[in-house]
Structure 1
């Protein structure tokens, strides 16, 4: 039956989820298009792997700086308002950047500041939009809701870099920023039309002075949970030693693979193709009790693919490696959010999702170190070094928390 309670059609009958899915779609399109285009553009104007890495650094830094605070805000204030105001604000910023580019006043610091503000939107997505999804969707179909959301993001991982490659080979950076204006306005309009079934939380103290005590309470809750805690540690490892690789792809494309900006976009799109196929299959077939295993082994396979990319100089092989990396990234991404949501109680979930955002926000450290390492050696060797370190640290975590891979420990609620 197509409209059975566990079907995707049943999921889309929820009007709030449908709108939240739409917001995620426009945000993901802009994110992947912007990061790819800016990586190409910054390398063209600076010829520096370090400054290319700083684009990723400035984009992810808000997760680390504001992740926990935004998690607490999402428990205290109406989430739709947080989403609306942030998306509308970013549309204005993109308009200013478009005008600077159009009149040839755009400088590197403008670009980095713009990516920092777009990173704030990504930071609030975890506790605000994902928090709303977990509130609106029944637990029996939550894995499908999270899986569909990530599948959509991965489709955007194909479209975004592909469009970025076309823009940068023909029109220029102006096209990226005017697209950002349109997409962010669309996201703010969708958010404005959301009707929350749950208003701001009753779980947090209303006094501003209680913010830090609430955050520390959330951290204490996380530390006592033997499923959430190692999940977050592996998240930190992957964001420092694995996911920053993307910032080096424009450099590897130019210096090692010897390909055009358009083919750099095509190459990164194949990561999205693999992620889309994998996330769609996982969202339909995943046994929730196997989430921890999909999470850990997805991390290991991804790191191996980054290692292989680092020792490779053949374009076709690079496509294969990124395709498999995308598949393993989808396994990591779906189960990461599912493990966090399924193993946290509602009173702490906003803060836990905020700490998840902050854990992902450690990626600027990885981006900075990767860029520095690439400047000393080269981008390929930097990926080899980082992937080996990531593999070793993941193995250390799983040796310490062997119970993490137990089927019975995947879901505690």
Structure 2
């Protein structure tokens, strides 16, 4: 009996993979994301090796992610109006060209920092449309709507498995053959996701007969998202984590080389430890059968994330830093993925692209502002004190959410009742019928 229950739990943890389209997409994305993380480590190490500047490390991250802040909401309108499958084919192909160009510059020894900055702006522009579309596209790939929450958790697991493998491999390759090979591998890895997209079996895309103009759709999306406090609060939490917390990854090359006295492999270990913690967090969410209780989870993990960053800022011992990175990764990904899951539960299907673009804007758009701000402060007071401040701000940012948690629960209760999540324990996310917000919020 115990063995059967354990098997059922394991099967339930991966239940979204029973859907053919999602399974194919999952595998293709998994391969591509390993390449993405390899490129990210390679670029961070390349820029710091060429410049010895913490500020320029932040500037490169800013160049990569600021397009998401500026273009994210428009990308959401695009995701709701056009064939998401076709949009993803275009964005993935353009990303492959970007990586191939950068790899050529690095391998030929002609790369300069301005090349990296320019190509990061290009990649950021592509990602602004890719991320919002991909977040909304996942719902189309799952056969059973109650498996959507599991698919979101598995996406986080895949992302963080790649985050565990990619940096570790990149750290070895950079020391052996240099950064260019890592970036080239990323360019080739896009073939996997392109192949997976081309083999999907999807229902024909039907364009809505009544098409609103861009500005009207954009305004409607903002009104819908920010007019309903639970959705507004979740987006705000993601934005605060990105603004105050995400800069820690920008400063890791400095910790690896100047504080822990290591090399590219040490950076890979730190990123890998963070990825392992994040993977554990994603699997923790995958085994959950209901969104009930995620509010308390967010309070705990956001506080854990901030506390772990504070402790990491004081560490000068590699093994202790690796342990703290585990907690950092766990706290960050559980907070982000829980917000994602709750948003996907609450939003209307016809506004999903726009709301998820606001999530992506908060996630990726606030990070460059935080990175450039943290890098500027680090130039003045050092990376350790800067990270200490970032951790403190993350920890205290959750206090207003915790204070208002009971009120927010009452506001989402009617939605949960319509979806069958209340009063009985849910079996998962149910959106077979159209999701509806409370009266006056549509």
The partner residue of 1:64 within 65, 69, 85 is 69
**What residue in structure 2 maps to residue 42 of structure 1?**
47
5 Å-filtered alignment, 1:1-400, equals: 7=12, 10-137=15-142, 138-197=144-203, 199=205, 201-202=207-208, 206=211, 210-360=213-363, 361-399=365-403
**How far off is 1:265 after superposition?**
0.5
**What residue in structure 1 maps to residue 440 of structure 2?**
none
Which stretch of the first structure deviates more once superposed, 16-25 or 233-242?
Answer: 16-25
**How far off is 1:122 after superposition?**
3.8
Moved over 4 A (4+): 1-4, 405-411
C-alpha distance in 2, partners of 1:58/1:286? 39
Which stretch of the first structure deviates more once superposed, 259-268 or 132-141?
Answer: 132-141
Which secondary structure does the structure 1 equivalent of 2:293 belong to?
helix
CA deviation vs aligned residue, 1:326-361 (integer Å, no higher than 9, x gap) = 111231132121111001011111110011111111
Which secondary structure does the structure 2 equivalent of 1:313 belong to?
coil
CA deviation vs aligned residue, 1:213-264 (integer Å, no higher than 9, x gap) = 1111111111222211100111111000001210001111112111121111
Which secondary structure does the structure 2 equivalent of 1:276 belong to?
helix
C-alpha distance in 2, partners of 1:334/1:398? 18
* Residues 128, 368 of structure 1: alpha-carbon distance in 2 compared, 3 angstrom cutoff: same
CA deviation vs aligned residue, 1:303-341 (integer Å, no higher than 9, x gap) = 111111112222111111100111112311321211110
User: What are the ranges of 5 or more consecutive residues in structure 1 without an aligned counterpart?
Assistant: none
C-alpha distance in 2, partners of 1:313/1:411? 48
C-alpha distance in 2, partners of 1:58/1:124? 16
C-alpha distance in 1, partners of 2:132/2:394? 26
Which stretch of the first structure deviates more once superposed, 88-97 or 224-233?
Answer: 88-97
User: What are the ranges of 5 or more consecutive residues in structure 2 without an aligned counterpart?
Assistant: 420-442
**How far off is 1:293 after superposition?**
2.0
**How far off is 1:266 after superposition?**
0.9
| Contact 1:289–1:408 (CA under 8 A) maintained in structure 2 | no
C-alpha distance in 1, partners of 2:202/2:223? 29
**How far off is 1:59 after superposition?**
2.2
| Contact 2:45–2:253 (CA under 8 A) maintained in structure 1 | yes
**How far off is 1:401 after superposition?**
5.5
Q: Aligned-pair RMSD on alpha carbons?
A: 2.4
| Contact 2:36–2:186 (CA under 8 A) maintained in structure 1 | no
C-alpha distance in 1, partners of 2:323/2:414? 31
The normalised TM-score by structure 1 is 0.92
* Residues 3, 152 of structure 1: alpha-carbon distance in 2 compared, 3 angstrom cutoff: same
**How far off is 1:125 after superposition?**
4.0
C-alpha distance in 1, partners of 2:28/2:165? 16
Q: Count the aligned residue pairs.
A: 410
C-alpha distance in 1, partners of 2:171/2:223? 45
* Residues 295, 286 of structure 1: alpha-carbon distance in 2 compared, 3 angstrom cutoff: farther
**What residue in structure 1 maps to residue 439 of structure 2?**
none
Which stretch of the first structure deviates more once superposed, 385-394 or 254-263?
Answer: 385-394
C-alpha distance in 2, partners of 1:371/1:198? 47
**How far off is 1:404 after superposition?**
3.6
